[in-house]
Amino acid sequence: MNAKPTMGQLIWRALRCRCPACGEGRLLTGYARQVEACAVCGARFGHIRADDGPAWLTILIVGHIVVSLILTVEPNVDWPQWLSMSVWVAAAIGACLLVLPRAKCFFIGAIWRAGAPGSETV
């Protein structure tokens, strides 16, 4: 078994949706369903429940980015209202779709690294 990764390694592996233990195997199958166990190192993740953590982190990150962009760009452009609504809603949805699986990987990795049971049933 590999030594536990540093927080920097954990974040990097989460950004690539890779196994927090080895950094090689995929942590998600499909869009955001976690694997039972890493195909490379065998570390088990199926019992870990990230619950609302990934959604919270996604909203935190995307909200700060999109609102900052809106406040920076909107005063300097003369877009019709329909265009502004379309652009910012699409940007927010796209950013959420991009960030959510990575946030889930981060939470699963952090729970795994902490050695927490990861579920309410031990």
For binding to Zn ion (CB under 5 A), which residues are involved? 19, 21-22, 25, 38, 40-41, 43
Which residues have C-beta within 8 Å of that of residue 13, sequence separation ≥ 6?
Answer: 5, 19, 20, 23, 27, 105, 109
Q: For the chain, count helices (H), then strands (E).
A: 3, 2
* Shorter beta-carbon distance to Zn ion: residue 40 or 59: 40
* Shorter beta-carbon distance to Zn ion: residue 21 or 105: 21
For the chain, helix, strand, coil in percent to 5 are 55, 5, 40
Q: Give min distance, CB of 17 to Zn ion, in A.
A: 12
Q: Give min distance, CB of 27 to Zn ion, in A.
A: 8
* Shorter beta-carbon distance to Zn ion: residue 58 or 118: 118
Q: Give min distance, CB of 64 to Zn ion, in A.
A: 31
